[in-house]
Structure 1
Amino acid sequence: MADNAENRPIENENPLVGNIVIFVVLMAIFVLGLVAVSWLDFTTVWPMAVLILCFVGAFFIPMAIISRSDSGSEHRN
């Protein structure tokens, strides 16, 4: 038996549909980045701007918008 039954790990923190939506959005960002790399020829600024926006989106969507940055704080003592 566990010493503290209140601090059990959370199982199924996200529903399946939420996980699928997050995966589809981030995969679309990844594919858009690949397409932008294929257009990159260093004479126009738009493909690099798209790549930077893809990076910002792929970094900040999990960290800030769906709040994955603090998901483990309730288990740290």
Structure 2
Amino acid sequence: MSVNEPERENSLLSSIILFIVFFVLFLGGIFAFSWGSLNNVWPFAIGIGLFFLSFWIPQTFMGRSDSGSKAMVRAKTRKPSGEF
């Protein structure tokens, strides 16, 4: 890793904190479903919303899904594998 290359990984502590926050969101979605009934659909809507947020926020804003087109690949260090 060169001096000019940015760090793309979270530290261990921030990764653990982020995991706990989004796991609590996920568990909150599961807990919301326990309050649901056929007469009250709001717990189901809240549960689906919490499930959505617990997966969408990490994958969209904290993941590497958008780094493929902007990734800087050095031509000098990249070597072909020779196998097809």
- The higher-RCO structure (CA 8 Å, 6+ apart) is 1
Higher-Rg structure is 2
**Moved segments of 4+, more than 4 Å:** none
**Normalising by the residue count of structure 1, what TM-score does the alignment of the two structures yield?**
0.66
- Deviation, structure 1 residue 75: 7.4
Q: Indicate which of 20, 25, 46 corresponds to 2:42.
A: 46
CA distance, structure 1, for counterparts of residue 59 and residue 45 of structure 2:
21
Q: Show structure 1 runs of 5+ residues with no match.
A: none
After superposing the two structures, state which structure 1 stretch, 59-68 or 48-57, moved more.
59-68
**Normalising by the residue count of structure 2, what TM-score does the alignment of the two structures yield?**
0.61
Q: Indicate which of 60, 66, 71 corresponds to 1:70.
A: 66
Q: Specify which structure has the higher proportion of helix.
A: 1
Number of residue pairs matched by the alignment: 68
Is residue 2:53 matched to residue 1:57?
Answer: yes
Q: Show structure 2 runs of 5+ residues with no match.
A: 79-84
Contact 1:62–1:69 at 8 Å: present in 2 too? no
* Partner-residue secondary structure (3-state), 1:42: coil
